[in-house]
Amino acid sequence: AQTVTQSQPEMSVQEAETVTLSCTYDTSESDYYLFWYKQPPSRQMILVIRQEAYKQQNATENRFSVNFQKAAKSFSLKISDSQLGDAAMYFCAYKMDSNYQLIWGAGTKLIIKP
Amino acid sequence: NAGVTQTPKFQVLKTGQSMTLQCAQDMNHEYMSWYRQDPGMGLRLIHYSVGAGITDQGEVPNGYNVSRSTTEDFPLRLLSAAPSQTSVYFCASSYYSSRTEAFFGQGTRLTVV
């Protein structure tokens, strides 16, 4: 069965600095998709970034980028120039190409220090 | 667009009571699902549907019932609430495609006393 592991329950970073959140997953599939979602205190789940496993190039969305290492089954999220509004829970999720269910990690709480 | 509308936002139930969480989407998404979120456990799939008239169980279906009579609506019924069902519940929808993102409702915080 596929699993997603986020080993950092909580991370903190100084405002304007860079932070990396870790995610590893276990799968025997070759085609799949990976996502990072943000959940601020409002509870709303917001897509941050997505990565297709068949693409070697790492996805980037403004200050957010990923380091996708397919062989190592690793999918970390880098947030550059951290802002107070980045404070939230961050969830890593996996979806197989042949199945539309999302498998979720336990989440990392990101604290931004002003 | 309203996106995914989930009601209510908060609910307190007594043990043994039943209730229905409502979920509606206006994006013509085929795939809809219900998750529960518990501290330290991420989101776990309760039930899902790939279209009107088609539903299936997820990882934690016991104590919950769903139906999908229209593309837009996907209600979740708690048959006889138990304290173990205290959680935050999310409805989500997406196109029936593996690459597309899921859109989420705002969640329901349910407390069973």
* Gap from A91 CA to chain B (nearest CA, Å): 7
Cβ contact, residue pair A43, B107, below 8 Å: yes
A28-45 per-position pLDDT tens digit: 888 899 999 999 999 999
A41: preceding bond cis by omega (within 30 degrees)? no
Separation in Å, CA of B10 to nearest CA in chain A: 12
Q: CB distance B104–A96 less than 8 Å?
A: no
pLDDT in tens, chain B (113 residues): 679 999 999 999 999 999 999 999 999 999 999 999 998 888 999 999 999 999 999 999 999 999 999 999 999 999 999 999 999 999 999 987 767 788 999 999 999 99
A4 touches chain B (CB under 8 A): yes
Q: Is B96 exposed, middle or buried (0-12, 13-18, 19+ CB in 10 A)?
A: exposed
Question: Residue A24 and residue B60: Cα distance in Å, rounded?
Answer: 23
Q: Which residue has the higher pLDDT, B40 or A49?
A: A49
Alpha-carbon distance B57 to nearest alpha carbon in chain A (angstroms)? 11
pLDDT in tens, A59-107: 999 999 999 999 999 999 999 999 999 999 999 999 987 777 889 999 9
Q: Which of A44, A52, A98 has the CB atom closest to B99's CB atom? A: A52
What pLDDT sits at residue A6? 97
Looking at residue B91, its pLDDT comes to: 97
Distance CA B11, CA B26 (A): 24
Mean pLDDT value across chain A: 94
Which of B45, B43, B49, B83 has the alpha carbon at shortest distance from B61?
A: B45
CB-based contact B45 A101, cutoff 8 Å: yes
**How many whole angstroms separate alpha carbon A30 and alpha carbon A70?**
9
Chain B residues with beta carbon closer than 8 angstroms to that of A59: none
**With contacts defined as CB-CB under 8 Å, which chain A residues touch B40?**
9, 106-107
Q: Show Cβ contacts of residue A77 under 8 Å, excluding neighbours closer than 6 positions.
A: A20, A21, A23, A36, A48, A49, A64, A65, A66, A90, A92
Q: Which of residues 71-110 of A touch B (CB under 8 A)?
A: 91, 93, 95-102, 104-107
Chain B contact for A16, CB < 8 A? no
Give the number of A-B residue pairs with CB atoms closer than 8 Å.
Answer: 56
The pLDDT of residue B1 is 61
Nearest Cα of chain A lies from the Cα of B40 at a distance, in angstroms, of: 5
The pLDDT of residue B98: 66
Instruction: Please report the sign of the dihedral spanned by the C-alpha atoms of residue B59, residue B87, residue B92, residue B19.
Output: positive
Count Cα atoms within 13 angstroms, Cβ side, for A12: 2
pLDDT at B41: 81
